Copies of this chain bind each other. A is one copy, B any other.
Amino acid sequence: MVAKTSVEKSAGRPRDPETERRILEVTLRHLAEEGYSRMSLDNIALAAGVSKPTIYRRWPGKADLATAALRTLQLAEPPVDTGTTTGDLIATLENFSRSLLRPNGLSLIGTVLAEEAHTPELLALFRERLVVPRRQMLLAILDRAKRRGELRRGANLDVAVNLLVGAFYARYLAASAIPAGFPRELVAMVWPGLVRQRR
């Protein structure tokens, strides 16, 4: 028995894909709720209704399981199209705000940052699956505006994205809350630094 792929049929009992899906889902939740260090495979097995050997049959260790769980992360938001650049920015940031305000919304971020020195693959995966795609979304909106001649010549789009996204983290750190009109206020303040001046 060499390789086990989804097309190949072996002589034994087939693995249940639902089992794997459930383990990963529970793991992601526990990672967010407990952090990496406190997250326990005993508790994950219990919550997923599987035995520990079932988990170890798929992943050699705790870090591998956590990594696999983070690999399931993805942005689940439709593209926005409001007709204006600022409208698109605001809508995208509102999606972002909503995902941050979910239970444990910030704690997964906290966890991957806290674990950077010990288990750096966690931050790498988080970055790849959520951070970069979100930024690309915002960059795409700004890039279209730039190509339409809306933005000033030297506008650094990356800096704009850092400002817009980062403000949520700062706000949360300051008060564990993000007010409703926040995205609009952010865009309103950054926009004059972006927009092409009329002469």
Contact = CB atoms under 8 A, between A and B. Distances in A.
Contact of A110 (B111, B156, B160, B192): B111
28 contacts: A33-B117, A35-B35, A35-B115, A107-B114, A107-B116, A109-B173, A110-B110, A110-B112, A127-B173, A135-B174, A155-B189, A159-B167, A159-B189, A160-B189, A161-B170, A162-B171, A163-B164, A163-B190, A165-B166, A166-B168, A166-B170, A169-B170, A188-B193, A189-B194, A190-B190, A190-B193, A192-B193, A193-B193
What class of interface size applies to chain A in its complex with B?
Answer: 35 or more
Interface of A is mostly: helix
**Most chain-B CB neighbours within 10 Å: which of A107, A176, A189, A192?**
A189
A160 B186 CA distance: 8
Interface of A: 33-35, 37-38, 104, 106-107, 109-118, 123, 127, 131-132, 135, 155-156, 159-171, 173-174, 176, 185-186, 188-194
